A and B are shown apart, each in its own frame.
Chain A
Amino acid sequence: MVAESEWRVNGPAGTPGGATTMHIPDAVLGPNAAIATSLIGGAGLLYSVKRLERQLGERTTVLMGTMSAFVFAAQMVNFPVMMGVSGHLLGGVLASVLLGPWAGSVVVAAVLIVQCFLFHDGGFSALGANFVNMGLIGAIGGYAIYAPLRRAMAGPKGTLIAAMVAAWFSVLLASGAFAVELAASGRRGDFLRVLGWMALVHSLIGIGEALITGLVVRFVLLRRPDLLEPAGGIVDRPAAAGHWIQWVVAGLAISLAIAAFLAPFACESPDGLEFVGQKLGFLPDESAAPAPPLPSPMPDYQLRLPGLDQAGLATAMAGVVGTLVVFGLSWGMARILPRPKHEGATLDAV
């Protein structure tokens, strides 16, 4: 790895100077959850590959190989956030906006496999879970949000806004899926707490992801708008016009993401968190004798993270603010796009 100067093209996680890991490592998920997600992920990947092969034929390998390498290289570009902290693109929604949902998920799978085997970012046993979260839910689920939104708002402006909104929701959905997988690993007591924290942290990461995705999509819209046409782009994207299933999937995905923000409210009532915790698994066995009255107001059975008491409120706020911010940003960026009449000129210039 090069000794980078400060312009921040860094190595992936695990290499000196690389970003911290974003993927689930080994031993965090229980064996049951690992096996279940591996089966789901494997089946989903096989299906995506089959769909793609039918569309692209022998072109699949070249296009998917280079595009996976593109996402891998794009992840090296570090975006300065503040005070030495930097973030990078995740790329699931970007890939499926540019290439269609099936290609998007295959690209994510290839990137995850290389990161797992060569850079040890993400565990071998968690490869399935990581693919479910980022490939199936991130790329394909993100596309399910993108496609109907894009159709509702015609033109390049609609493409940009839809891509950014989909990027934001896909990050949230992926983090929610991680909370579910943890709960399935036998840590049910954690579910709401982890969900709340995940939603909180990822509402920030999601804004960054939406912004980077938007910047890249805007660039492509300015230079090669033809590549983002629904049909006749790089890959024929499912043009099944106005299919009602797309709306159902999109609605479901968005409401799940919103539910992630509202969930912590379920335990925001006084002692609610402790109650849920005791009831569901902070204690050795949920069927054990009723919880004895706790001797101290600050029982030590739970890690006290700062602000935990307000987690519910903070998370819901983050959800509302984040959604507004992403809408605002995408609206603002869409204003800079050329009006349709200029599109011909841009094309000629390329």
Chain B
Amino acid sequence: MPSDALERHREATSPLHRLDARVKLIAALAMVIAVIAMPVGAWRLYGAAGLVLAFAIGISGIPPGEIARRWLGLFVPVAFLAAMLAPSHPARAAQGLAAVASSILARNGLALMTMIVLAGTTPFAKLLTGMRRLGVPLVLVATLQFMERYRHVLVEEVERMATARRARTFRRRASLSWSLLGGLIGMLFLRTFERAERVHDAMIARGWTGAIHSLED
């Protein structure tokens, strides 16, 4: 199951973990907006933001190595984009190519680490409750809650189906053919649709009216 690497940090009990999800959500949004609004080459500002982040990472107890690993995982595509954008960036003439490209990279890294700290200290369910309390429409939040519930179920289902298909059509080649994989997705859709109908019937039988209630409410 593709659970993210941060999952096991989420149940820890640092002060950041205990903070209200709404506060963390707003703080993360403010941080990301502040970071992307910083001008190119403002290294001191980046440094200041980095210090704030380092402090937050320190409190959260997420191992810095873990964060570095995830940052590196997304580094290559972002670096490619930065290299593509830097040559024609308005600030390029004044500051040079390398400064512009590394500014984009640095700000992206800061925003990314903010999101990692947010995700690493807040279970997704709490994040969604926080969104709901901040005024995100109930339908959307409930949809996301449902999706989070069934995401794992369906990923496991597609893995089982692929294993079964491999067992039945054994070949030396590692990968399945496109039409088999397309059929796999089609089958997954039909099964998902039928599952949704069953789940919905069961929920109606239990008095579903459209809102998810949890013990925290």
Residue in A31, A34, A61, A223 whose beta carbon sits within 8 Å of that of B186 in the complex: A223
> Do the beta carbons of A120 and B74 come within 8 Å of each other?
yes
Decide if B181 touches A77 in the complex (CB within 8 Å): yes
B33 touches A125 (CB 8 A): yes
A302–B112 Cα gap in the complex (Å)?
28
Among residues of A, the one whose C-beta sits closest to the C-beta of B158 is A73
Q: Does B66 contact A (CB under 8 A)?
A: no
Q: Which residues of chain B in 106-136 are interfacial with respect to chain A, using CB atoms and an 8 Å cutoff?
A: 107-108, 111-112, 114-116, 118-119, 124, 127
- Expressed in whole angstroms, the minimum distance between the Cβ of B135 and any Cβ of chain A is 11
Question: Do B88 and A61 touch (CB < 8 A)?
Answer: no
Chain B residue nearest to A1 in the complex (CB): B2
**Given known contacts A68-B147, A215-B179, A11 and B2 CB-to-CB distance under 8 angstroms:** yes
A325 CB, nearest partner CB in chain B, Å: 14
Q: Which of A1, A77, A277, A302 contacts B185 (CB 8 A)?
A: A77
Task: Please tell me the number of chain B residues within 8 Å of chain A, measured between CB atoms.
Answer: 91
Is A331 on the interface with B (CB-CB < 8 A)?
no
Mark out the residues of chain A between 111 and 166 whose CB falls within 8 Å of any chain B CB in the assembled complex: 111, 113-114, 116-121, 123-125
Complex Cα distance, B199 from A34, in Å, reads: 38
Hey, what's the 0/1 contact readout for A75-118 against B, CB within 8 Å counting as 1? 01111100000100100000000100000001001110110111
Q: At the interface, yes or no: B90 with Cβ under 8 Å from chain A?
A: yes
Residue contact A70 to B176, C-beta cutoff 8 Å: no
Q: Which of B11-19, B53-61, B149-157 contacts the other chain?
A: B149-157
Complex CA–CA separation, A45 to B137 (angstroms)? 10
Q: Give B28's nearest chain A residue, CB to CB.
A: A124
A53: chain B residues within 8 A (beta carbon): 139
Which residues of A1-28 have CB atoms within 8 Å of chain B's CB atoms? 1-2, 5-16, 18, 20-21, 25-28
Contact, CB under 8 Å: B29 / A124 = yes
Q: Please tell me if the beta carbons of B88 and A79 are within 8 angstroms of each other in the complex.
A: no
Docked-complex contact B90 and A186, CB < 8 angstroms:
yes
- Interface segment, one of A247-255, A280-288, A309-317: A280-288
In whole angstroms, what is the CA distance A2 to B156 when docked?
10
Chain A residue nearest to B104 (CB atoms) is: A27
> Known contacts A25-B81, A65-B142, A66-B146; is A118 also within 8 Å of B178 by CB?
no
Interface of B is mostly: helix
Report the separation of the CA atoms of residues A67 and B203 in the bound assembly, to the nearest whole angstrom: 17
- With CB as the reference atom, state the residue of chain A lying closest to B37: A31
Instruction: Please measure, in the bound complex, the distance between the C-alpha atom of A159 and the C-alpha atom of B94, giving whole angstroms.
Output: 54
A interface size (C-beta, 8 A): 100
Bound: A95/B190 CA distance, A: 13
Decide if B78 is an interface residue (CB 8 Å cutoff): yes
Q: A30 and B36: CB pair below 8 A?
A: yes
Excluding A65-B144, A283-B93, 17 further A-B contacts by CB distance (< 8 Å) are A8-B175, A11-B2, A12-B2, A15-B2, A28-B85, A52-B139, A65-B146, A67-B196, A69-B147, A73-B188, A76-B158, A123-B108, A215-B182, A215-B186, A220-B189, A227-B193, A303-B86
Residues of B within 8 A of A (CB): 1-5, 28-29, 32-33, 35-37, 70, 73-74, 76-78, 81-90, 92-94, 104, 107-108, 111-112, 114-116, 118-119, 124, 127, 137, 139-140, 142-151, 153-155, 157-159, 162-163, 166, 174-176, 178-179, 181-190, 192-193, 195-196, 199-200, 203, 208-210, 212
Listed by A's residue number, 12 A-B pairs whose Cβ atoms lie within 8 Å are A1-B3, A13-B74, A15-B2, A21-B74, A21-B77, A27-B35, A28-B82, A58-B210, A66-B192, A114-B124, A215-B178, A215-B181
Q: Sorted from nearest, which 10 A-B pairs have the closest CB atoms?
A: A65-B146, A215-B182, A219-B186, A6-B174, A26-B111, A284-B93, A27-B107, A73-B154, A69-B150, A58-B210
